[in-house]
Amino acid sequence: MANDGEFKRDQNYITTRITADGRDGYPVEPGRYRLVIARACPWANRAAIVRRLLGLEDVLSMGICGPVHDERSWTFDLDPGGKDPVLGIERLQEAFFKRDPEYPRGITVPAIVDIPTGQVVTNDFAQITIDMSLEWTAHHRDGAPELYPERLRDEIDDVASKVFKDVNNGVYQCGFATSQEAYDEAYRRLWDRLDWLSDRLAGRRYLVGDTITEADVRLFTTLVRFDAVYHGHFKCNRHKLSEMPVLWAYTRDLFQTPGFGDTIHFPQIKEHYYVVHKTVNPTGIVPAGPDESGWLTPHGREELGGRPFGDGTPPRPPIEAERVPGPGEGASTAKPAH
């Protein structure tokens, strides 16, 4: 937290990469690595979506932490015995300390762990999804979409940078500001950018090009959490997402696209934010709303054209161990991945 009350995100991550040629010492190998996420976390949600869209479930297993953590780290409390069934650890912290016993920074998701050594390879969330697209191509499913096409990368990077600064991170800068001035500035930038995005998406179905790209994945994970947590909990309350016609329709369109909404667990999202952030919500009370039924209503975005997967096809349904309850199915805990 800066002296002026502005929230400053620590963006120093373990940047080792898993690549096709193994140049960082970690070659792409089916079954060697485990992606660790939490359903609650928007940054981890990106990796879960991209893994689904590209069909990497059979080559990159996924561990799922519970929605609540303490100052030490995320825990595997959803799994039998409170241990990840593949890594055999109770806390993600253990994988970070195997890599560096003096690891000084936050224990974050998503993280990819090398199963043979039990060491974390990387928690660089922005690079993880790009590498899934570019380095794991030999293991993509038939019909996998091109989420980071070379011809559009400059535009995707430009849009994604704006979205990160003002929206993905902007909601946190609103919620964790400790001065009125810092909050007001973050609030202004957030809504200026959301208005810009609304204008951009008014006449086009997706952010860049006519198919889903990395840019859409990055925006979706913030917008899908907006009414449930950011509007009230983080004081981002000019409008609800459901009161912004273009962005509400856009987000519903993606939510109803295989690979997006089937990664979203609203009860865990709410539990994380309202329970963990004691400085923002000291009572720890988790709100009952909002009503989730609207997520499945018609969005009308097909009229704008575009093809979600380009020349590809939708991903298969989630494997049973990774299925989440859909809107209206209740607050049951997601089944752990094995």
Active-site annotation, residues: 41, 172
Cβ partners under 8 Å of residue 28, min gap 6: 18, 19, 20, 22, 135, 136, 138, 139
Q: How many residues does the chain have?
A: 338
Alpha-carbon distances, residue 37 vs 48, 111, 280 (angstroms)? 7, 7, 24
- DSSP letter at 27 equals B
Q: Rounded distance, CA 119 to CA 97, Å?
A: 8
Structure-block tokens of residue 225: 């959490």
Closest CA to 284 of 233, 236, 227: 233
Task: Please give the order of strands across the beta sheet that includes 111-114.
Answer: 61-65, 33-38, 111-114, 119-122
Region for residue 88 given its phi and psi (left: phi exceeds 0; alpha: psi -120 to 50; beta: otherwise)? left
47 within 8 A of 35, measured Cβ to Cβ: yes
